[in-house]
Amino acid sequence: MHRTPLVLFGANVVMPTGTVKDGQVIVDGTRITGTAPENAQVIDLRGHWLVPGFVDIHNHGGGGASFTSGTVDEVLKGIHTHRLHGTTTLVASTVTGDMDFLAHRAGLLSELAEQGDIAGIHFEGPFISPCRKGAHSEELLRDPEPSEVRKLIDAARGRAKMLTLATELPGGIDSVRLLAEHGVIAAVGHTDATYEQTVEAIGAGATVATHLFNAMPALGHRAPGPIAALLEDERVTVELINDGTHLHPAALQLAFRHAGPARVAFVTDAMDAAGFGDGRYLLGPLEVEVSDGVARLVEGGSIAGSTLTLDRAFKRAVTIDRLPVEHAVAALSANPARLLGLDDRIGSLEPGKDADLVLLDADFELKGVMRQGEWVVEPQLP
């Protein structure tokens, strides 16, 4: 379908080199271009911000739908829910389950990846520590034997993007090497590893910290644990859940100071209730109560993912945490895009990239979302 080219002008446009005041972004078809065609429609966005579409590499669902157990239509509903909040690229995450079930699930999700609905699959569990299981079913946990890990990689048909594992468990280091050989991100998470064990895992090829600080030993002055190792190594990107529940603002600032703005990726770790509301839900086989937007297991009270959307994470970062807008944009777009190997196509508003963008007002409230040149949320401008 032919689309009228657009010139979006007058906004504060956040580019990799900094913010351009009274800038412009030209959209022709599905791409951002450098030259406006004569028939382009001009849209005045003065008083607004234009930032690249958000990229979420850790997301379990939304809109009442689970990426682990929902039907195809339900999964698509969850994806659309997050698009309404600015997430134009999403990796679908599963939670711990029976291996045969997860392999079957990988087949379904890989079809959605092939269609372009998601950017790939993230397996969070079952290869995690029972000491740091969080909202994962303990009876379904298992050691990360390479043959078992390979089963999930194969089931995903080349669409596995990331797998979270406790690398200190038997088979963990060999599985990290296996993942690296197959181009799948090995993420350290739900781990009880020591500092030294984590250093070994990074040396073997682990490159992501799954929701840093959460589901791992606290930073200690005699036993620094995985947090210190993950923050100090320039090869590691650290995930942060910036919802005000998972992290104290000081912890977020600590991560940015030590990792730097190029090594942080904001994620939602969202479950079904994101964009949907309070109530009772299932996360895998476990029952979850969502109250005042906070998800906790009914039994035990452990935090069970989040109800976060990335537009809220962005606003919190720049208004409460006082991060520079450019740092927040990098954590929401450029850094996760680069991690996924998609930075040639997404993650910035440079000419040649996909026309994925988010429009925000002066108070950083979402006012428009475009994905591949088509408005998902059409701006209502005066």
> DSSP states of 99-165 as a string?
HHHHHHHHHHHHHHHHTTSSSEEEEE-SSS-GGG-SSS-GGG-----HHHHHHHHHHTTT-EEEEEE
Q: Which residues of 174-211 are buried (b: 16+ CB within 10 A; e: fewer)?
A: bbbebbeeeebbbbbbbbbbbbebbbbbbebbbbbbbb
Helix (H) or strand (E) holding 252: helix 249-259
Contact 197, 223 (CB under 8 A): no
- Helix (H), strand (E) at residue 251: helix 249-259
d(CA 128, CA 40): 52
Under DSSP, the state recorded for 217 is P
Distance, CA of 370 to CA of 86 (rounded, Å): 8
Using CA atoms of 261, 263, 265, 269 in order, give the dihedral in degrees to the nearest 10. -130
- Beta-carbon contacts of residue 83 (< 8 Å; ≥ 6 apart): 90, 369, 371, 376
> DSSP states of 163-210 as a string?
EEE-TTSTTHHHHHHHHHHTT-EEEE-S----HHHHHHHHHHT--EET
The alpha carbon of residue 50 and the mean position of all alpha carbons in its chain are separated, in whole angstroms, by 20
Please state, as a whole number, how many other Cβ atoms lie within 10 Å of the Cβ of residue 294.
17
Q: Which helix (H) or strand (E) holds 357?
A: strand 357-360
Query: Token pair for residue 126?
Result: 């079952």
Determine contact, residues 33/59, Cβ cutoff 8 Å. no
Catalytic option among 269, 272, 354, 356: 269
User: What's the helix, strand, coil split of the chain in %, to 5?
Assistant: 30, 30, 45
Any catalytic annotation for residue 363?
A: no
The residues carrying an active-site annotation are: 269
